[in-house]
Amino acid sequence: MKAELLNVSTGKVKPFNLSDGIFSLEPRKDILNRVVRWQLAKKQQGSHSVKTRSEGSYSKAKIYRQKGTGGARHGDRNAPIFRKGGVYKGPKPRDHSHDLNKKFRKLGLKHALSSKISTGKIVFIEDLKSNFEKTKDLVKIFDLYGWRNLLIIDDQENARNLSRFTKRLANRDVLSVNGINVYDILRKEHLVITSAALKQLEEKLQ
């Protein structure tokens, strides 16, 4: 697959070839949906909790005698039928995560990348060196190319340096190749991948 490599300093581009097995797939929504649900389930806190009738603060004694009152039979005031009583089968702290094998997660990444490139929202650049002094220097580059909402994929060292600047910017994030994931790819409008990151990415997904 043909693509162009951009030099952000000069604005010049040069052609190069991409791996068809990663960037030329027909995107499938069901695969992307499964991987995103797996990611979000892992992030879900699962700390919601209610009290059962055994955990209530009322007395555990029977509220009145069994027979002869003309009322219904009841035990203690913690029963779910009473106001402020315990909750029957309410939520308790639990782990919401579920399994998804590595092969399927890798396939999800390929489909996410293919989805972005099919809409023309991936930009391949030679590098984005962090030798600027202020965040506004980086913003000038983003504004020059119209990158308002983007995710930058770079190698480990450069991604760490760039994140010091992008953490103060809204809708502009940086990830290393090791941290790349389907959810972050899909939720950003543009995906910017450096040549160093692309090489690592192709090795990872082959």
CA distances, 136 to each of 21, 145, 147, 165, 175 (Å): 38, 14, 14, 9, 20
Q: Are residues 30 and 126 in the same domain?
A: yes
Q: Are residues 160 and 192 in the same domain?
A: yes
Q: Are residues 151 and 72 in the same domain?
A: no
What global pTM score does this model have? 0.83
Does residue 15 register a pLDDT over 60?
A: yes
CA distance linking residue 25 with residue 190, whole number of Å = 19
Q: Are residues 194 and 136 in the same domain?
A: yes
Question: How confident is the model over 36-68, as pLDDT tens digits?
Answer: 999 999 999 999 999 999 999 899 999 999 999
Domain extent at residue 59: 50-90
Q: Are residues 131 and 182 in the same domain?
A: yes
Q: Are residues 85 and 100 in the same domain?
A: no
How many C-beta atoms lie closer than 10 Å to residue 73's C-beta? 10
Q: Are residues 64 and 163 in the same domain?
A: no
Q: Are residues 15 and 103 in the same domain?
A: yes
